Copies of this chain bind each other. A is one copy, B any other.
Amino acid sequence: MTAPSTARPRLRVGMVGYAFMGVAHSHAWRTAPRFFDLPLEVDMAVVAGRREPELRAAAARLGWRETTTDWRTLVARDDVDLVDICTPGDTHEEIALAALAAGKHVLCEKPLANTVAQAEAMAAAAAAAPGQVAMVGFTYRRVPAIQLARTLVVEGRIGQVRHVRAQYLQDWIADPSVPLSWRLDKQKAGSGALGDIGAHVVDLAQFITGEQVTGVSAILETFVHERPVADEFTGLSGSSSSSGATGPVTVDDAAVFLARMSGGGLATFEATRFAYGRKNAIRLEINGSKGSLAFDFEDMNVLHYFDASEPAVTAGFRRIVVTEPEHAYVAAWWPAGHGLGYEHAFTHQAVDLVRAIAAGDHPAPTFADGLQVQRVLDAVERSAAADSTWTPIETQEA
């Protein structure tokens, strides 16, 4: 007997770009309906890319029904409900504006744009299309341990936030022989460590605390100014060059900044690709008037929580293994202790997005949230360019 088809309305997805992020998003679109009850049937309708043979191979591999080498075609298709933007930051604005104008829902990878002006245009377009969802892919919000951190703050367990220390540490270009890639090209990437990984910890710090960064003092640094030109750019893992040619790195290798949070607390931020031995160490530590939280993505299924109301004799950071059915998203997966991995957060993002579309909600992080992060990144760049001058950031209504 053949398995039955479902009778739910369809959500037809068109994805632009199929590199690292495209792979992760595709996995999420394929997997979300397998583990979660979704109100809409996800249809992986079409994927857009520039180079024909690679595109077709990727579509087959990733599970997309059709392909197109022109994203404008994709955006214009009647049979696409949601445009999923997985391209470098320099293209986000154009694609997102077109998609919104065409009446599509939009999921856009982070950072929202390469400039505040672009992000403002995108947020304005989203605001002008209230019937459409416009979400930005700060995916780490949907790691269950991060959700738990947010919940504990909302429940008042942390109290008034006094300190945030947020770090995103990698080492993938600490070796100067690692070749150039688009992520090291200011034209495409907008910035380096700042926008690529710093954006994540800015978003996470704001998300967990429910506060905004109100000002920064910053340093940006590029440690390695010339790198080999790879024969071919292949996303994160550039193949090594054979030609001997080199080219300039035009973005920051590292960003460090002080900040104030809107609730009065102090924050330190650090994003670097030069921390040897740290692979994807997204570390957040928050100290409040009632307790503390600590997280490190290198142990992503764990949240550490200190409850200052405990008697001193038994108080201590609790290592919460965030794999219980009571934790966000976990009941859909495996029994306690059977940890999740990197890509699960993408699946959770897809789940929340589909449910929000069906419910007519606007899932966070919205384009407005993405714009606010962009303003922080922009202030960091301006402060760094002005000898670390304190640079305030316009806050927005939450």
Chain B residues with CB under 8 A of A279: 321, 323, 336-337
Interface status of A12 (Cβ within 8 A of chain B): no
In-complex Cβ contact of A313 among B148, B287, B290 (8 A) = B148
Q: CA of A164 to CA of B309 in the docked complex: distance in angstroms? A: 30
Contact pattern, A 43-83, Cβ under 8 Å of B = 1, otherwise 0: 00000000000001001111111111000000000000000
**Residues of chain B within 8 A of A320, CB atoms compared:** 313-316
How distant is the Cα of A218 from the Cα of B311 in the complex, in angstroms?
35
Which residues on B sit within 8 Å (CB–CB) of A272? 162-163, 287
Report if A268 contacts B (CB, 8 A).
yes
Measured in the bound complex, the distance between the Cα atoms of B298 and A320 in whole Å is 11
**Distance to closest chain B CB from A196 (angstroms):** 12
Query: Complex Cα distance A387/B26, Å?
Result: 47
Question: Across the two chains, which residue of chain B brings its CB closest to A386?
Answer: B390
Q: Are A277 and B256 in contact (CB under 8 A)?
A: no
Residues of B within 8 A of A167 (CB): 165
Question: In whole angstroms, what is the CA distance A318 to B312 when docked?
Answer: 12
Interface residue from B172, B219, B260 paired with A335 (Cβ < 8 Å): B172
- Whether B256 lies near A258 (C-beta < 8 A) is yes
B66-A2 in contact (CB<8A): yes
User: B274 contacts A237, CB within 8 Å?
Assistant: no
Map CB proximity to B onto A299-331 as digits: 1 under 8 Å, 0 otherwise: 111011110100111111111110111110000
Of the stretches A203-211, A340-348, A359-367, the one at the interface is A340-348
Mask for A383-397, Cβ within 8 A of B = 1, else 0? 000011110000000
Chain B, residue nearest A170 (CB): B337
Closest to A216 in B: B388
Q: Does A280 lie at the interface of the complex (its beta carbon under 8 Å from any beta carbon of B)? A: yes
Question: Is B3's CB under 8 angstroms from A64's CB?
Answer: yes
Given A272-B287, A306-B277 in contact, is the A298-B389 Cβ separation under 8 Å? no
Given the interface pairs A275-B292, A337-B170, A338-B280, the reply to whether A325 lies near B237 with Cβ below 8 Å is: yes
In the assembled complex, the Cα of A327 lies from the Cα of B313 at a distance in Å of 6
Within residues 246 to 294 of chain A, which ones have a CB less than 8 A from any CB in chain B?
254, 256-258, 260, 266-268, 270, 272, 274-281, 285, 287-292
Q: Output the least CB separation between A5 and chain B (Å).
A: 8
Q: Which of A30, A291, A315 has the most CB of B within 10 A?
A: A315
Please name all residues of chain B whose beta carbon is closer than 8 Å to the beta carbon of A5 when the two chains form the complex: 60
**Interface residue? A6 (CB, 8 A):** yes
Contact B341 A4 (CB under 8 A): no
Q: Judge whether B65 and A277 touch: CB under 8 Å.
A: no
Shortest CB–CB separation between residue A41 and chain B, in angstroms?
Answer: 11
List 12 A–B pairs whose Cβ atoms lie within 8 Å, in order of A's numbering: A1-B67, A3-B60, A6-B60, A170-B336, A217-B217, A237-B325, A277-B306, A277-B308, A278-B292, A313-B327, A316-B318, A339-B341
Sorted from nearest, which 9 A-B pairs have the closest CB atoms?
Answer: A279-B337, A280-B337, A277-B306, A341-B341, A316-B320, A316-B318, A338-B342, A3-B59, A217-B388
